[in-house]
Amino acid sequence: MNKKLQTRDKGCLRWWILPLAALIFLLALGGGVWAQSPGDTLPPSPPSGVTAFDTPNDAGRNITIDWQLSPDDVRGGKTVKGYDILRSESQEGEFEVVGSVVAGISTFQDDKVDNHKGYFYKVKAKDHLFSESEIVGPVETSGQWYNTNRTVVLIFVVLFTTLVIYFVSSAKKGKKLYVRPIPGMDAVDEAVGRATEMGRPILYILGLSTISDVATIASLTILGRVAKKVAEFQSKLIVPCYDPIVMTVAQEVVKNAYLDAGRPDAYDESNIWFLSQSQFAYAAGVNGIMLRERTATNFYLGMFYAESLILAETGNIAGSIQIAGTDAVVQLPFFITSCDYTLIGEEFYAASAYLSREPKLLGSIKAQDWGKLGLITLIILGGFFASLHIDAFVNLFTVGH
């Protein structure tokens, strides 16, 4: 009997589960419908103030569409889910969706257009219904020949170029220019002389960047000066390279330096070779050279990354005189700690002129000094005006894309 009762109980359970599930389903359906009321039959308000224009300062083929958000696109109110941007080549033609953005966004860039062709746009606000804005257009796009956002940079470049040309021509006319001593560069003669006395080679590292980096070019110019001194002192110069193009240029630079010094016979191309284009393989290779060859002097001039300290510390342990120079701000503390002399930032770019003592090259250093004075003045003025909440002065120097 108990068994029968248990069976009937289970039957009872099955009997009321089905109506309950149906009730829940109906409630959910009803709730969904009620949630959309009372505006469920009305579409959201359309976006207003739609404007479409050729995106400025670009290569063309890009139209920007801006609009004001639908009044229903507000937090807590009736929620617009997003906007569709529609485009047509004629006002009466068929509009196609070219992009969508989520609610709260009021701009879109259409980059799938052709230059010199008219386009019409409208924006559709959508939830489960939708409404469309008025049509705007026609809008044509074209590439610009000048980026107005970069006028400040252009003005600065023109002014600085004028300064360089002025000081270079002044120097050519014989005007004496004072350049403050750079201890790192003054030590080059001493470092090369020491290597000669000890009968050990000099190691020159051009950094881990390519020929398109200004730091590498600056390093190559210094290499020319150092190689000439090495040739005069009849010492040995080793230049393991990270980049094959840099290696080719370095070979030419050193070859010509030896020619200038009147010692073309002493030039050995095999001392300037390609080591590796893998950062830590290069570091390992250079460390091996330092320890095996027991280099008397190490030059680290160019762009460096995480390997800077690995190289400089190994050189330090090996007891070499070390002269470093880089524009990589992050690596400077490592070089300062581990090297005897470090050329900091601009000193590195001034080194070639400093070593050559050529007046026209020294003229460019003078121009740099005047450029710095101009920048310092602008920074002081900027600080002054910003303290007075006069933003117009600071905004003058805003550079866009």
Partner 1 sequence: MAIQFFIPHQISLEVYRGALDWLMIIAGFTMVLGIGSLIIHHTNKLKHQGEGWGYSVVTLLGLVVMAIAGVRGMGIDTPFMQIFIYAQNPIQATMFSLLAFFIASAAYRAFRARSFVATLLLLAAIIVMIGRVPIGAKIWPPIRDISNWLLDYPNMVAKRAIVLGVGLGMISTALKIILGIERSYLGGGK
Contacting partner 1 within 372-391 (CB under 8 A):
372, 375
Give the list of residues 6+ apart from residue 176 with CB closer than 8 angstroms, or none.
none
Residue whose CB is less far from partner 1, 101 or 284: 284
Residue whose CB is less far from partner 1, 70 or 352: 352
Residue 253 class from Cβ within 10 Å (0-12 exposed, 13-18 middle, 19+ buried)?
A: buried
Q: Could you tell me the smallest distance in angstroms from the CB atom of residue 179 to partner 1?
A: 13
Of 43, 224, 302, 315, the one binding partner 1 by CB under 8 A: 224
Restricting to residues 318-337, name those near partner 1 by CB under 8 A.
327, 329, 332-334, 336-337
Count of chain residues binding partner 1 (CB under 8 A): 87
Helices and strands of the chain, counted as H and E runs: 11, 14
Residue whose CB is less far from partner 1, 114 or 197: 114
Q: Could you tell me the smallest distance in angstroms from the CB atom of residue 143 to partner 1?
A: 4
Element holding 327 (H helix, E strand)? none
Q: Could you tell me the smallest distance in angstroms from the CB atom of residue 386 to partner 1?
A: 15
Does the protein bind partner 1 through residue 281 (CB under 8 A)?
Answer: yes
Does the protein bind partner 1 through residue 273 (CB under 8 A)?
Answer: yes
Does the protein bind partner 1 through residue 393 (CB under 8 A)?
Answer: no
297 CB neighbour count, 10 Å cutoff:
29
Q: Could you tell me the smallest distance in angstroms from the CB atom of residue 306 to partner 1?
A: 6
What's the start-to-end Cα distance of the chain, in Å?
87
Of 25, 53, 280, 397, the one binding partner 1 by CB under 8 A: 280
Residue whose CB is less far from partner 1, 50 or 323: 323
Does the protein bind partner 1 through residue 368 (CB under 8 A)?
Answer: yes
Restricting to residues 45-64, name those near partner 1 by CB under 8 A.
57-61
Q: How far apart are CA 103 and CA 125, in angstroms?
A: 9
Answer for the pair 342, 332: CB distance below 8 angstroms, yes or no.
Answer: yes
55 closest CA partner among 138, 111, 127: 111
φ/ψ region of 96 (left if φ > 0, alpha if ψ in -120 to 50, else beta) reads beta
Restricting to residues 111-150, name those near partner 1 by CB under 8 A.
115, 143-147, 150
Q: How far apart are CA 238 and CA 293, in angstroms?
A: 10
Q: Which residues pair with 166 in a beta bridge?
A: none
Restricting to residues 284-313, name those near partner 1 by CB under 8 A.
284, 288, 292-293, 306, 309-310, 313
Q: How far apart are CA 340 and CA 320, in angstroms?
A: 9
Does the protein bind partner 1 through residue 252 (CB under 8 A)?
Answer: yes
Of 154, 155, 177, 390, the one binding partner 1 by CB under 8 A: 154
Answer for the pair 200, 296: CB distance below 8 angstroms, yes or no.
Answer: yes
